[in-house]
Amino acid sequence: MEYPKQRLRRLLVAHARPDAFAPHARSILSKMGYAIVPEEELASLPEPLQEQRPDLRIVDERRLAEVPDDEEGAPVPIIVLTGRQGVTGADPRIVGAVPRPAGIHELYRLIQQALEETPRSAPRVPTHLSAVCRKDGKEWRSALVSLSENGCLLRSPEPLTLGIHLELRFELPSAGPIVTRAETAYQVPPDLGLIFHETPAASRRAISEFVSRTLVES
């Protein structure tokens, strides 16, 4: 992977082999501002990056003993890549663990929880998808301007108040129609933020795959 010559928004150091990550996981996270740099590549980075303190470490459980002590400042949090039994270490820097090979969505949730003041639970991508809203027997067309596994930003010609529930239907390329209940939870004028409820498992998987594919292709 190529890295910028200036400071990274977030520097994540990996003490793990490339095959400990799911395909595209590292490149997708890098596009979202979380550059995962293998520990052995740190010395070859441009000088400004060599001096940047890691924000987080991603460590194969078999290499935990290799992680250096933190000499100054707050401890650098650690996400452990582990097997089915989960992590057994008692290192207080460990904030979570995911099984190998680590997938984008599992890593994203833990990275957000460890580093961000207002963490998201799932990646979000901009979209241009038509949607149909239905409430109290009334139906109208709207548009999804961004989408994640858990919700979306909706641009609706019909005025909607916060805290209401409606049915939302939209179609994903190569996945077919998605139908879910949704709640109007917040505003990002002129759009409304919807949180999905009671979404079928197959639809959640389809949305998750669409988001990952969009991030890979962007």
Regarding beta strands 176-188 and 191-197, do their DSSP bridges make them parallel or antiparallel, or are they unpaired? antiparallel
* Through-space distance between the first and last CA atoms of the chain, rounded to whole angstroms: 16
Ordered per-residue pLDDT tens for the chain, 218 residues: 555 544 567 899 999 999 999 999 999 898 888 989 999 988 887 777 767 889 999 999 999 988 988 877 789 999 999 886 666 667 889 888 898 999 888 899 899 989 988 788 788 899 999 999 999 999 999 999 999 999 999 999 998 988 899 999 999 988 889 999 999 988 888 899 999 999 999 999 999 999 989 988 87
CA-based torsion, 42, 11, 87, 89: positive or negative: positive
- Asked if 24 and 104 count as a contact pair (C-beta separation under 8 A), the reply is yes
List of residues 6+ apart from 92 with CB closer than 8 A: 75
- Tell me: cis bond preceding 159? Omega within 30 of 0 counts: no
Domains and CATH numbers, the chain: 10-115 (3.40.50.2300), 124-217 (2.40.10.220)
